[in-house]
Amino acid sequence: MTPFEQRAQAILRRVQPGMVIAEIGVFHGQLSECLLNAGLTVHMIDNWLPGSEHPERYKATGDYHTKLTADAVKNAEQDTRRRAHAFPGRAWIHKMDSIDASKLVEDKSLDMVFLDADHSKAGVKEDIHYWRPKVIPGGWIGGHDYGDERFGVTEAVIESFPPWYEIESDINLTWFVKI
């Protein structure tokens, strides 16, 4: 099972076909494709920036995405568009910054938001702040790289939710909180 299939499996334990999710940070679109194949509607959000154009806070994490060339990210975007093409009406690509994209989404309109973009502590906290209101009551917010000490994901998640929220961890470093 690929890492993308593992992440999809963790997500699909919490949502069902026909539901609508937003994936923030899709890169080549492999996870989105798994979710689309399972019958979800997916808003695929990525800015596809070359590494040099990422914020300094994100570059400081050392994430390999922050070192990619313009050609590499263009290739990733093309892969995503090719994958999405097979799912008209259920695959929505938004080439834009996460925060800008969140402002276009109605509050309480998504069944899940999955965060896998800026892995800095400040970036994850910002994404949680802007995307959490978009999730319906009983829906989920989650993401990737929870427990990976190279990044600020774990600290950001713990600090973003009061202690009465349960942070569920799952396979392939995924995390989820029920709203």
Mind giving me the DSSP string for 17-75?
TT-EEEEE--TT-HHHHHHHHTT-EEEEEE----GGGS-HHHHTTT-GGGG--HHHHHH
Residues sharing a CB contact under 8 Å with residue 81, sequence separation 6 or more, in sequence order: 29, 93
Quick check: 35 and 14 in contact, CB under 8 A?
A: no
- Where does the pLDDT of residue 27 fall: very low under 50, low under 70, confident under 90, or very high at 90 and above? very high
Mean pLDDT of 49-64: 82
Mean pLDDT of the chain: 95
pLDDT at 54: 79
Distance CA 39, CA 37 (A): 5
* More confidently predicted of 63 and 9: 9
Classify residue 152 as exposed, middle or buried by CB count within 10 Å of its CB (0-12, 13-18, 19+).
buried
What is the pLDDT at residue 32?
98
Task: Please compute the mean of the pLDDT values over residues 33-58 and round it to a whole number.
Answer: 92
Q: What is the mean pLDDT of residues 118-133?
A: 96
Q: Quickly tell me which residue has 């299939």 as its tokens.
A: 5
Say if residue 164 is exposed, middle or buried (CB neighbours under 10 Å; 0-12, 13-18, 19+).
exposed
pLDDT value of position 55: 80
Give the percent of the chain with pLDDT over 70.
100
Whole-number pLDDT of residue 102: 97
Q: Does residue 60 surpass a pLDDT of 80?
A: no
pLDDT for 10 equals 98
CB atoms within 10 A of CB 1: 9
Helices and strands: H and E segment counts in the chain? 7, 7
Please give the CATH number for the structural domain made up of 3-12+17-178: 3.40.50.150
148, with CB counted inside 10 A (0-12, 13-18, 19+), is: middle
User: Cα–Cα distance between 9 and 111 in angstroms, integer?
Assistant: 16
**Mean per-residue pLDDT, 173-179:** 97
What percent of the chain is modeled with pLDDT above 90?
85
Whether the CB-CB separation of 46 and 67 falls below 8 Å is answered with no
The pLDDT of residue 149 is 87
Q: Which backbone phi and psi does 46 adopt, to 5 degrees?
A: -160, 145
Between residues 51 and 97, which one has the greater pLDDT?
A: 97
- The 10s digit of each residue's pLDDT in 135-169 is 999 999 999 999 998 899 999 999 999 999 999 99
Amino acid 132: pLDDT? 98
The answer to whether the beta carbons of residues 100 and 49 sit under 8 Å apart is: no
